[in-house]
Homo-oligomer: A and B are copies of this chain.
Amino acid sequence: MYIYKPDYLVMTAGPTMVSGNVLQARAKAFGNPDLDPDFFTFYQSVCDKLKIFFGTEKAQMIIMNGEGMLALDAACASLTEKGDEVLVISNGVFGEGFKDLILQYGGNVTIYESDWKSGLSASKLEEFLKSKSNFKFATIVHCDTPSGVLNDIGPICNLLKSKGILTVVDTVAAVGGTELKVDEWNIDIALGGSQKVFSAPSGLSLLSISDDAWDAIENRTTPIPSFYCNLSYWKNCVEEMLFPYTMPASDIMGLNAALGNLLSERPNRVIERHEEMRDYTIERLKDMGIELYLNDSFSPTVTAFLVPEGYDAQEIINHMKNKYKILIANSYGPLKNKVLRIGHMGENARFDRVMFTLDNLEKTLCDLKRG
């Protein structure tokens, strides 16, 4: 019988390594989440913990059963009506990817394209909006992992709100590892996943939904063309004690333990730890003579760098994995094979792991040069 037993350190931009107490929380017996009133109390308590990381008291948090892509698809399905004008703000692979999600629901997409090597600028976007601003909503990526850019989304979301444009923010690879202030920044829908900074296994989508977003969803003139991606089923699910489907109690028990770990450490300290790991990673890469992909706006969760001249991206990855038992990642789209990435998020944003990774990247470059 085939046994799957990986023996390497996962230093990618998610999923991350998972703590033992999180794995054990998933290994406990659980009740029937459809029928047990205690489960609804538990679910709400986990949502309340999430609110701390999302920086919101006003928004509603929901936890859906599916990978982070479900959150993105559900937000687009629930907001977009045929013919709606939607602004896709893009400075990376994932930023651009929102286009297809919106087109499939009949939205008219305008792409605001910005330099992939730098963070988004609110003032430049403001210029752009002078020519056209009749958008129902805009999509923005907080940390676009293929390049490791961290966008300063606060001023951007507040600007959009001032123009009456709803915001959908993909913060899957950022929330927890950097500041997120859903209320202060007026973010309408923020999207997270379990397997990034929270360092729980993949499988849960985490969404904050503002009153304005609920209004937009409830004031649609056409029905939401989906069951699984239909956010409207979630609005009153705790009060009515009726989820749209059987909730993954075991996965949520794991997430609860993962959030507990970060709360014990204190969320502000967790962010500091991520910044320290980013700074350390950048410094070490520079010391090795490696060129970073970005000019500015380096995310504290992942660092992208150019494949040094004379090396092959996949060869570096394979050598790291096979000889040193560390998995780092290639990039996506046009950056594939040109850019490599080290994830330092969640449980991987630890000095020992990051140092071990960089030490062995250095050895790898040396090994491959000799070979």
Contact = CB atoms under 8 A, between A and B. Distances in A.
Interface stretch (A61-69, A114-122, A183-191): A61-69
Contact of A225 (B39, B45, B105): B105
Interface in A1-42: 1-2, 4-6, 8, 10, 12, 14-15, 17-18, 23-24, 26-36, 38-39, 41-42
A67 B65 contact: yes
Select the residue from A6, A74, A104, A251 with max chain B CB neighbours within 10 A. Answer: A6
A36 B248 contact: no
B104 A223 contact: yes
Nearest to A49: B1
Interface string A67-86: 11110111001000000000
Contacts of A247: 67, 202
B26 A26 contact: yes
Contacts of A39: 4, 6
Contacts of A74: 228
A225 B104 CA distance: 5
Oligomeric state, in number of copies? 2
A67 B145 CA distance: 27
Interface in A106-143: 106
Interface in A199-249: 201-203, 223-229, 244-249
Contacts of A29: 6, 17-18, 23
A247 B35 CA distance: 28
A198 to B, nearest CB: 14
B227 A225 contact: no
Contact of A1 (B38, B224, B226, B260): B260
A195 interface: yes
Contacts of A327: 31-32, 35-36
Contact of A45 (B2, B69, B202, B251): B2
Interface residues of A, number: 71
Contact of A24 (B27, B69, B228): B27
A365 interface: no
Interface of A: 1-2, 4-6, 8, 10, 12, 14-15, 17-18, 23-24, 26-36, 38-39, 41-42, 45, 65-70, 72-74, 77, 100-101, 104-106, 195, 201-203, 223-229, 244-251, 253, 256, 260, 317, 327, 329-330
18 contacts: A4-B42, A6-B38, A8-B31, A10-B31, A10-B32, A14-B246, A17-B29, A24-B27, A26-B26, A33-B202, A65-B70, A65-B203, A66-B70, A67-B248, A104-B224, A201-B249, A202-B249, A203-B248
